[in-house]
Amino acid sequence: MATARELMTSPAKCVNEQDSIQLAAQLMKDLDVGMLPICGKDNRLAGTITDRDIVLNCVADGVVTSSTKVADYAQGKPVTIGADDSIEEAISTMQQHQVRRLPVIDGHKLVGMLAQADIARYSDENDTGHLVSGVSEP
């Protein structure tokens, strides 16, 4: 079976912890993605931020997105998958943590992003349905 490395989108574009929420939102728009990894000073994965985080936690609260740092709204320790881990492991991780996107790491280096849609393009209808229902459970 395929590995995360084979199906991931690469390279992954990061925002820096000190970048503004507005910059993160613009980058999401430009890349047509719903989540960005956040890289720290050492270029290691420091967290993630989603379009939902921005809308519900920043825009809805009237936060000035041009002067608010990504680090202030980053989700905690990100759930990741190893580059050489199987797609079955990725599916299990997505379901266990109820996430649709996983940063893919090789050692400590971010090498790509694996989304539910990447797996769906690869999998048959039954596997895709199983993934979607497992990630969408309440």
Predicted confidence pLDDT, tens digits, the chain (138 residues):
789 999 998 888 999 999 999 999 999 999 999 899 998 877 788 889 999 989 998 999 998 999 999 988 877 788 999 999 999 899 999 989 989 899 999 988 899 999 988 888 887 666 656 555 656 555
Query: What is the rounded distance in angstroms from the CA atom of residue 10 to the CA atom of residue 4?
Result: 11
Q: How many CB atoms within 10 Å of residue 111?
A: 17
Residues in the chain, how many? 138
pTM of the model: 0.81
CATH assignment, 4-135: 3.10.580.10
The residue among 54, 53, 95 whose CA lies nearest residue 119 is: 95
Paired sense of beta strands 101-106 and 81-82, if any: parallel
